[in-house]
Chains A and B, each alone.
Chain A
Amino acid sequence: MLRLVLLLAVLAGQVLADEIPPAERLSDTLTMSPELRAMQADETANPASLSVLDGEALWNARAGASGKSCADCHGDGAKAMRGVAAHYPAFDAGSGRVLDLEAKINQCRTERQGAAALPMESRDLLSLTTYVGRQSRGQLIVSVDPRLVPTIEKGRQMFNARQGQLNLSCAICHDDNWGRKLGAVTVPQAHPTAYPIYRLEWQSVGSLQRRLRNCMVGMRAEPYVLGSDEFIALETFLMSRAKGLAVETPGIRP
């Protein structure tokens, strides 16, 4: 009887599960220990600062057939890129696609600089993305472009769909059970406010897509291909879901 009640409670929880209302949205940083939060806040202790420095050097370095650097067109990254990461992924009118920051950087490289696209998760691409993301630290995430709506809806569907051998959806953990424990870890609301992150477990900087792949493997689902439209749709939905929270790039995660 108790089992039946529990089962019904679980099912009811899932049926009634709703998105997190804006007033209850919390940055994932708040689920970390005070020590890790201090590490994230202190630029000398935050190892992702090294990526910001590498990214700044790449921003000012010439690349490709055009012989131009990012700075030759955009100027000082600290000014030109301010607030940019707060509204990415964004709709790209030229290609008619939604691009995340990594894809946008590679589009700039191939179309404007005449350089080869940087491989996903390569050190250079992560450094440039971290540098661009850093310039939006403290800015509130916005998601207002109506052209993003179909992509957000696709991402929302993926977020709520059960997948993998464990038959879980993203929402079961991050909408219904955030704040509770999964083993020793507090389940976060999963807002991508601090990407690219330096994950201590990885001992390196990694992208949001790498983190999503990690979650999918944990659910025993087949991860999407890095750079695929599926991942970008999921990223776009997650950013719309995090609307109103501040960008914290570059973040630390355990």
Chain B
Amino acid sequence: MARALINVPKTAKVGDVIEIKTLVSHPMETGYRVGLGGELLPRDIIQTFICTFNGAEFYRAEFSPAVAANPYFSFHMLASESGVLEFRWQGDNDFLLVETATLTVE
């Protein structure tokens, strides 16, 4: 069950710095751990997280096996115009999760 929680203010004033918070459900299996039978558990991580605003990329993160399960990210954006934020997590085993949020700037 791939799932994300996104917290973006619904409205902002021009010039406001808004905080964007994201939490995504993912095991982030490192690839270095062994299972009960001694076999190596294959790596299963999110590799990249990209946030775009009205199609333009403004935030990108590259994940490593050291990132804990269910990664939480918080970052800021300068509110200048209304638009749509798109969040894209991409990773091993064709993991792809895309979520959107709308921001109204007054």
Contacts and interface: CB of A to CB of B under 8 A. Distances in A.
A50 B21 contact: no
Given A43-B5, A50-B23, A53-B3, 6 more contacts: A44-B6, A44-B7, A44-B23, A45-B23, A47-B23, A50-B25
Contacts of A53: 3, 5
Nearest to B72: A45
A200 interface: yes
A54 B3 contact: yes
B72 A203 contact: no
B96 interface: no
Nearest to A203: B69
B22 to A, nearest CB: 8
B68 interface: yes
Contacts of B22: 44
B1 A57 contact: yes
Contacts, number: 37
Contacts of B21: 42, 44-45
A58 to B, nearest CB: 9
23 contacts: A42-B21, A44-B5, A44-B6, A44-B21, A44-B23, A44-B72, A45-B21, A45-B23, A45-B72, A47-B23, A47-B72, A49-B5, A49-B23, A50-B23, A50-B70, A54-B1, A54-B3, A57-B1, A200-B68, A203-B27, A203-B68, A203-B69, A204-B69
Contacts of A44: 5-7, 21-23, 72
Interface residues of B, number: 16
Contacts of A50: 3, 5, 23, 25, 70
Interface of A: 42-45, 47, 49-50, 53-54, 57, 200, 203-204
B70 A203 contact: yes
Nearest to A58: B1
Contacts of B70: 47, 50, 203
Contacts of A204: 69
Contacts of A42: 21
A47 B7 CA distance: 13
Interface in B64-86: 68-70, 72, 74
Nearest to B22: A44
A129 to B, nearest CB: 16
Residue from the set B5, B7, B74 with the largest chain A CB neighbour count within 10 Å: B5
Contacts of B1: 54, 57
Nearest to B68: A203
A45 B6 CA distance: 10
Interface string B1-29: 10101110000000000000111010110
Contacts of B3: 50, 53-54
Contacts of B23: 44-45, 47, 49-50
A47 B71 CA distance: 9
A53 B5 CA distance: 9
Shortest beta-carbon contacts, A-B, top 7: A203-B69, A44-B7, A47-B70, A50-B25, A44-B21, A44-B5, A54-B1
A50 B70 CA distance: 9
